[in-house]
Chains A and B, each alone.
Chain A
Amino acid sequence: MRALSKDIVMNDTLTPFIDAHKTNKTHLTVENLNVHIYGKHILKKVNLSIPEKQITCIIGPSGCGKTTLLRCFNRLHDDNSEVKVTGNIRIGNEDIYGSHVEVTHIRKKMGLLAQRPTVLPMSIYDNVAYGPRLYGIKRRRKVYEIVKHQLMAVGLWEEVKDRLKSPAVRLSIGQQQRLCLARGLAVEPEMILGDEATSSLDPLASTKVEELFVKMKDTYSIVLVTHTLRQAKRIADYVAFMYLGELVEFGRAEEVFNNPKHKLTQQYLDGSFS
Chain B
Amino acid sequence: MMGLSLFSIAVLLLIGLVLFLYSLPTLRDNNTFHLFFTSSWKPFKGEFGFGAFIYSTLYVTFIAIVMAFPPALLCALYMSEYATSTVKRVFSPVIDLLSGIPPVIYGVWGTLTIVPVISEKLAPHFVDFSTGYSVLAGGVVLAIMILPLIVSILIEVFTAIPKGIREASLSLGATKWQTVKKVILKKSLTGIVATVVLAVSRAFGETIAVLMVCGNFTDIPQSVFDACYPLPALIANNYGEMMSIPGYESALMFAAFLLFIIIVIFNAGSRLVLYRIKKNSQS
> What residues make up the interface of A, taking CB atoms closer than 8 Å to B?
74, 76, 79, 81-82, 104-105, 107-108, 110-112, 114, 116, 118-122, 130-131, 134-135, 166-167, 169-170, 180, 183-184, 187
Contacts A81-B85, A130-B182 hold; do A120 and B170 have CB atoms under 8 A apart?
Answer: no
Instruction: Name the interface size band of chain B.
Output: 20 to 34
Q: Does B178 contact A (CB under 8 A)?
A: yes
Residues A108 and B282 in contact, CB atoms below 8 Å apart:
no
Q: How far is the CB of B107 from chain A (nearest CB, A)?
A: 40
Proximity string of chain B (162-180) to chain A, C-beta cutoff 8 Å, 1 when within and 0 when not = 1011011111111110100
Q: Which A residues are in CB contact (< 8 Å) with B168?
A: 112, 114, 118-120, 180, 183
Contacts A81-B84, A120-B165, A169-B282 hold; do A134 and B170 have CB atoms under 8 A apart?
Answer: no
When chains A and B are docked, how far (Å) is the Cα of A82 from the Cα of B89?
14
Q: Which of B124-145 contact A (CB under 8 A)?
A: none
Residues A112 and B167 in contact, CB atoms below 8 Å apart:
yes
Residues A170 and B282 in contact, CB atoms below 8 Å apart:
yes
Q: Which A residues are in CB contact (< 8 Å) with B175?
A: 104
When chains A and B are docked, how far (Å) is the Cα of A107 from the Cα of B179?
14
Q: Which A residues are in CB contact (< 8 Å) with B202?
A: none
When chains A and B are docked, how far (Å) is the Cα of A170 from the Cα of B283?
8
Q: How far is the CB of B170 from chain A (nearest CB, A)?
A: 6
Q: How far is the CB of B174 from chain A (nearest CB, A)?
A: 5
Q: A111, A112, A180, A184: which has the most chain B beta carbons within 10 Å? A: A112
Residues B165 and A76 in contact, CB atoms below 8 Å apart:
no
Proximity string of chain B (109-127) to chain A, C-beta cutoff 8 Å, 1 when within and 0 when not = 0000000000000000000
Residues B187 and A111 in contact, CB atoms below 8 Å apart:
no
Residues A82 and B85 in contact, CB atoms below 8 Å apart:
yes
Q: List 8 A-B contacts (CB under 8 A).
A: A79-B170, A81-B84, A110-B171, A119-B168, A131-B172, A134-B178, A167-B281, A170-B282
- For B86, give the chain A residue with the smallest CB separation: A81
Q: Which B residues are in CB contact (< 8 Å) with A82?
A: 85
When chains A and B are docked, how far (Å) is the Cα of A135 from the Cα of B173?
9
When chains A and B are docked, how far (Å) is the Cα of A187 from the Cα of B21?
66
Q: Does B186 contact A (CB under 8 A)?
A: yes
When chains A and B are docked, how far (Å) is the Cα of A187 from the Cα of B168?
13
Those 7 A-B pairs whose CB atoms lie nearest each other, nearest first: A108-B173, A112-B171, A118-B164, A118-B168, A121-B187, A131-B172, A104-B173
> What residues make up the interface of B, taking CB atoms closer than 8 Å to A?
84-85, 162, 164-165, 167-176, 178, 182-183, 186-187, 281-283
- For A122, give the chain B residue with the smallest CB separation: B186
Residues A74 and B182 in contact, CB atoms below 8 Å apart:
no
- For A105, give the chain B residue with the smallest CB separation: B173
Q: How far is the CB of A101 from chain B (nearest CB, A)?
A: 13
Given contacts A107-B173, A119-B168, A130-B169, 15 further A-B contacts (CB under 8 A): A79-B170, A107-B171, A111-B172, A112-B167, A112-B171, A118-B164, A120-B165, A120-B169, A120-B183, A131-B172, A131-B173, A134-B172, A134-B173, A167-B281, A184-B171
Q: Which A residues are in CB contact (< 8 Å) with B187?
A: 121
When chains A and B are docked, how far (Å) is the Cα of A158 from the Cα of B186?
28
Q: How far is the CB of B39 from chain A (nearest CB, A)?
A: 46
Residues B283 and A167 in contact, CB atoms below 8 Å apart:
yes
- For A120, give the chain B residue with the smallest CB separation: B183
- For A76, give the chain B residue with the smallest CB separation: B167
Residues B170 and A107 in contact, CB atoms below 8 Å apart:
yes
Residues A183 and B167 in contact, CB atoms below 8 Å apart:
no
Residues A104 and B174 in contact, CB atoms below 8 Å apart:
yes
Q: Which A residues are in CB contact (< 8 Å) with B176?
A: 79
- For A180, give the chain B residue with the smallest CB separation: B168
Q: How far is the CB of B142 from chain A (nearest CB, A)?
A: 32
Contacts A82-B85, A130-B182 hold; do A118 and B165 have CB atoms under 8 A apart?
Answer: yes
When chains A and B are docked, how far (Å) is the Cα of A79 from the Cα of B82?
8
- For A104, give the chain B residue with the smallest CB separation: B173
When chains A and B are docked, how far (Å) is the Cα of A134 from the Cα of B177?
12
Q: How far is the CB of A122 from chain B (nearest CB, A)?
A: 7
Residues B171 and A111 in contact, CB atoms below 8 Å apart:
yes
Q: How far is the CB of A129 from chain B (nearest CB, A)?
A: 11
Q: How far is the CB of B155 from chain A (nearest CB, A)?
A: 17
Q: Which A residues are in CB contact (< 8 Å) with B283?
A: 166-167
